[in-house]
Structure 1
Amino acid sequence: MAQPSDIDIARAASPRPIAEIAAGLGIPETALQPYGRTKAKLDQAFLASLADRPQGKLVLVTAISPTPAGEGKTTTTVGLGDALSALGHRAAICLREPSLGPCFGMKGGAAGGGYAQVIPMEDINLHFTGDFHAITSAHNLLAALIDNHIHWGNVLGIDPRRVTWRRVMDMNDRALRDIVTSLGGPQNGLPRQSGFDITVASEVMAILCLATDLADLERRLGAIVIGQTYDRRPVHARELGADGAMAVLLAQAVLPNLVQTLEGTPAFVHGGPFANIAHGCNSVIATRAGLGLADIVVTEAGFGADLGAEKFMDIKCRAAGLRPDAAVIVATVRALKMNGGVARGDLGHEDVDAVIRGCANLGRHIENVHSYGVPVVVAINGFTSDTQSEIRAVENFVARHGTRAILCNHWAEGSKGALDLGREVHRLATSGVAQFDPLYPDDMPLLEKIETVATRIYRADEVIVPPRIRGQLAAWEAEGYGHLPVCMAKTQYSFSTDPTRLGAPTGFEVPVREVRLAAGAGFIVVICGDIMTMPGLPRVPAAASIHLDSEGRVEGLF
């Protein structure tokens, strides 16, 4: 008998009242701002009271380079958290909120799967507590204030040709990538070229996820650079009086959301920057809350370790002073075979040689995470088509890299299917062997930071940086931004910028197309290859299968 769909499993669950979940972490009911029976935000006063508490152990879940065969990183994060709870540890999970873009585009829902899910699944995937809407509104308020300032006399002398602040929406829409605004005559403002990014690429999203409290949030919002004046002076959001109003719109959104897994493990689901075009991690506020309340916190970073884990280590941990104690790299036999050259339609057939070829991708990710001084275990997310010979090939390969590969069946069995992984993760996290160190120092020049990530993490031979971009990097260094880390935006499907080069490619260049200053967030965005900051929909979007049934319930979400 086939296993029920993810949404059917979630719908059949009997969630506990959120106050009971909170009580398990020592959170009093008075510290909750409930959103119905199963969701709540933690209030600011309680969050502030956690500052001086001893910190739990921090575990990062990352993955090999993603393929259409699927890896199950979020599912593994949830299964591992449930397993740690089942083993008697006080565990919490920290995840990002799903974007409507992929929910209605290609990926579908993003709350785990099978019997390793966070619930309420439909709410989390669709609007949740409104955080993304608040971020979108705050971002676009700043855009409106820029155009309004220019329309009413432009006292600051903003050069409309050099306004870099675009608009955002939480949807995939290629038609909005490049637009002209303010057509229709003088009453509609001064026409200029602009465009839209997806909300998860917004600097406001990054700011919300990296801020430590409301005061830090407002300070970062004020530091946003929206463009330049005619005499090339940078213009900040605070000069337009935008920071206070933006902070007001975000005052609720900045508070972390508490939900639960199917098995009742507490889960903080908060913030949602993409890892291929943004920094790919949940909020610092949620992670710190988890570390102050639980003995061990399991979090994830988006896409493969070359993107999410690198940004987790070099941006989030650097900014927040976090030190990961262990890392899990998720792999599937199916995805390894695809990295080894097997077509998607043939993945159900045993092919040990293809698994071994595909393991080159896994090996590079293991080496990269080890280079940060963080111990690693590999979670083999099991499928029924996997054979013992294929699994053994992965285990043997990983053993030669000085670590373990553990077969997990949490998708089908919940916590029971990840107990061995839970034991090994807890052993690594409490062993004290982690010696975390970021990839590069703050004082390294920006161009060298870009080259360091490209050559040491991606293994590129060279980075191609046009003279105009080199000049822009030098100008930002002269303005005092040289200490910032770099946030690399590139395809998630390959170590290179070519999504068709799977496995562990060598002999390639990384072309830098554009750089953007995210002064409020505190990093430089480096756009490489053909990556888009506003995705498009596929030929047959997931939205075509999503509908309400006769009882008003969501169908087709996942």
Structure 2
Amino acid sequence: MSVFPTDIELSRAAVKKPIQEIAARLDIPEPAVIPYGRDKAKIDQSFVSSLAGKRDGKLVLVTAISPTPAGEGKTTTTVGLGDGLNAIGKRAIICLREPSLGPCFGQKGGAAGGGRAQVVPMEDINLHFTGDFHAITSAHNLLAAMVDNHIHWGNALGLDSRRIVWRRVCDMNDRALRDIVVSLGGPANGIPRETGFDITVASEIMAIVCLATDMLDLEARLARIVVGYRPDKTAVTAGDLKASDAMAVLLKDAMLPNLVQTLENNPAFVHGGPFANIAHGCNSVVATRTALRLADYVVAEAGFGADLGAEKFFDIKCRKAGLRPDAAVIVATVRAIKMNGGVARSDLGSENVEAVRKGAANLGRHIENVRSFGVPVIVAINHFGTDTAAELEALKTYVARLGVEAVLCRHWAEGSAGILELAEKVAALADSGTADFAPLYSDELPLLEKIETVVKRIYRGRAVTAEPQVLNQLEAFEEQGFGHLPVCLAKTPYSFSTDPRLLGAPENHIVHVREVRLAAGAGFVVAICGDIMTMPGLPRVPAAEHIYLDEQAQIEGLS
């Protein structure tokens, strides 16, 4: 029996076209293509700006059920669907986020798709790529350095060192950096204070890069970043510190969308990478807008399950950018559905129709939630070899009772040939004109009520609890003029609740908000719920232990 090649073997064997040829298919002139080697490029800002006013194509969101260790294949399906749309004669572009080094060397792995539905070069995309994350890390830490430097040289702005909220970042899972003390060692090293690190993908600057519409907007957003407060609780910003212009210089190239290709040589913009459990989890507005003006269909992915990625795509990205999605695809696998139905990972290979029926409630909840935004839905069943006919029929029957169609997809093994049916149906759904998109809540709603709306309508929780200082902070944000901002709830991706062990479709649970953070530059308020960490840790056996260079200096073990 032949062994199916690994993702990295398929990527390495890909017959890639010069990136200028991929760009030419989109009518991007060669002077606008800034190559990073032969197979990836950035697109010049002047060309991106020249597209303003062009008619937008159809926007299709790919989201998923709640993630499990069994795997769902959301990114793989996004890539496969883009290939499928191109295979049926549609002009389609894929929009993905850039992977973080933290998950690559930790537990989750990379984010370039899998099997025969990948974007390439997989190794570059999953590692340093075009340097965007390094630029974001540098800009973030420049501001942190300027905060401490300002205090050291007399603190003319009157920053209260107990109320500095700007932490540092690095793009790696490192629990030892969550809480630290800086400036030890005497007066020459500054004023000692407590702070910590977040992972780069949780940085407000990552969110700003992904929400800014152009360089002018980027500069204005950077200047609005709140780094801390004076004793009278008035805010001090990056603009006050005169740091934002230099930060923009570091981010100049990072703002340009990255163009790559799939294994089937179809175009993909891979740009920006905010986490969806602790940030808004979407590809950049610049990349999505550029794609919409170049293609008839844009297939965009949002991180984790629909309760996180899709909700934030709708309530933050679409609200801020004026986007109106035309259709949504919810990815599910029989294996993941069975886990939500109570089956242990070790038993997923055995048929269990009853567990499919039970676990399908998780999918049903996500379908209801996405439709509540006025976006029509179709389900993609990402096929695994262990799926049985009875299990697949049970899942399709459940979905049909909700008035939604489920399509079996084999893109992982077959590429575009295995997803043609879904491509045809998604194109028809997007063209149907049935979308009537609206965010979940209005700008005018108080911040706490916005949080409660997400918890009750999306998570199906009974109530929100918070300590008095959190409630006071929300009131202070409103008094400072930030009450109109949307909210970004940071919680575990594995459950609708804040308990990652509570699978399926739990109801009437309590969501505790332990901290709130103002992202004035990005334009939202973060509510940190339950035990979620903004700096993850590595697992007991990190993936890094199995990543190495072989005798030919080729990377092995990256997934």
Give yes or no for TM over 0.5: yes
Pairs within 5 Å for 1:83-102: 83-102=84-103
| 1:110 CA drift (Å) | 1.1
Q: Which residue of 1 aligns with 2:297?
A: 296
Distance, in Å, in 1 between the alignment partners of 2:3 and 2:550 is 22
Q: Identity percentage over the alignment?
A: 72
Matched, 1:55 2:56: yes
Q: Which runs of 5+ in 2 are unaligned?
A: none
Distance, in Å, in 2 between the alignment partners of 1:543 and 1:411 is 25
| 1:465 CA drift (Å) | 1.7
| 1:404 CA drift (Å) | 0.3
| 1:507 CA drift (Å) | 2.6
Q: Which residue of 1 aligns with 2:409?
A: 408
| 1:315 CA drift (Å) | 0.2
Q: Which residue of 2 aligns with 1:537?
A: 538
Distance, in Å, in 2 between the alignment partners of 1:232 and 1:376 is 46
CA deviations over 1:348-385 (Å, ceiling 9, x no partner)? 00000000000000000000000000000000000000
Pairs within 5 Å for 1:10-29: 10-29=11-30
Aligned AA (1:221): L
Residue-pair matches, total: 558
Aligned AA (1:45): S
Displacement over 3 Å in runs of 4+ = none
Q: Which runs of 5+ in 1 are unaligned?
A: none
Aligned AA (1:224): I
Pairs within 5 Å for 1:154-169: 154-169=155-170
Q: Which residue of 2 aligns with 1:474?
A: 475
CA deviations over 1:174-229 (Å, ceiling 9, x no partner)? 00000000000000000000000000000000000000000000000000000101
| 1:516 CA drift (Å) | 0.1
Distance, in Å, in 2 between the alignment partners of 1:309 and 1:286 is 18
Q: Counterpart of 1:180 in 2: which secondary structure?
A: strand
Distance, in Å, in 1 between the alignment partners of 2:554 and 2:3 is 22
Q: Which residue of 2 aligns with 1:216?
A: 217
Distance, in Å, in 2 between the alignment partners of 1:204 and 1:484 is 17
Distance, in Å, in 2 between the alignment partners of 1:12 and 1:69 is 27
Pairs within 5 Å for 1:403-482: 403-482=404-483
Distance, in Å, in 2 between the alignment partners of 1:213 and 1:485 is 21
Give the structure-2-normalised TM-score: 1.00
CA deviations over 1:147-200 (Å, ceiling 9, x no partner)? 000000000000000000000000000000000000000000000000000000
Distance, in Å, in 2 between the alignment partners of 1:296 and 1:508 is 39
Distance, in Å, in 2 between the alignment partners of 1:428 and 1:384 is 28
Distance, in Å, in 2 between the alignment partners of 1:403 and 1:505 is 22
Distance, in Å, in 1 between the alignment partners of 2:264 and 2:415 is 8
Q: Which residue of 2 aligns with 1:36?
A: 37
Aligned AA (1:15): K
| 1:232 CA drift (Å) | 1.4
Aligned AA (1:337): K
Q: Counterpart of 2:3 in 1: which secondary structure?
A: coil
Pairs within 5 Å for 1:289-328: 289-328=290-329
Distance, in Å, in 2 between the alignment partners of 1:424 and 1:287 is 22
Aligned AA (2:512): P
Q: Which residue of 1 aligns with 2:172?
A: 171
CA deviations over 1:116-145 (Å, ceiling 9, x no partner)? 000000000010000000000000000000
Q: Which residue of 2 aligns with 1:260?
A: 261
Distance, in Å, in 2 between the alignment partners of 1:364 and 1:507 is 14
Distance, in Å, in 2 between the alignment partners of 1:134 and 1:475 is 32
Give the structure-1-normalised TM-score: 1.00
Distance, in Å, in 1 between the alignment partners of 2:508 and 2:381 is 29
Distance, in Å, in 1 between the alignment partners of 2:348 and 2:161 is 53
Matched, 1:522 2:543: no
Q: Which residue of 1 aligns with 2:394?
A: 393
Q: Which residue of 2 aligns with 1:269?
A: 270
Q: Counterpart of 1:158 in 2: which secondary structure?
A: coil
Q: Which residue of 2 aligns with 1:197?
A: 198
Q: Which residue of 2 aligns with 1:348?
A: 349
Q: Which residue of 2 aligns with 1:375?
A: 376
Higher mean C-alpha deviation, range 468-477 or range 482-491:
468-477
Aligned AA (1:172): N
Distance, in Å, in 2 between the alignment partners of 1:245 and 1:396 is 57
Q: Counterpart of 2:169 in 1: which secondary structure?
A: strand
Over the residues paired in the alignment, what is the CA RMSD in angstroms? 0.4
Aligned AA (2:202): A
Distance, in Å, in 2 between the alignment partners of 1:295 and 1:30 is 23
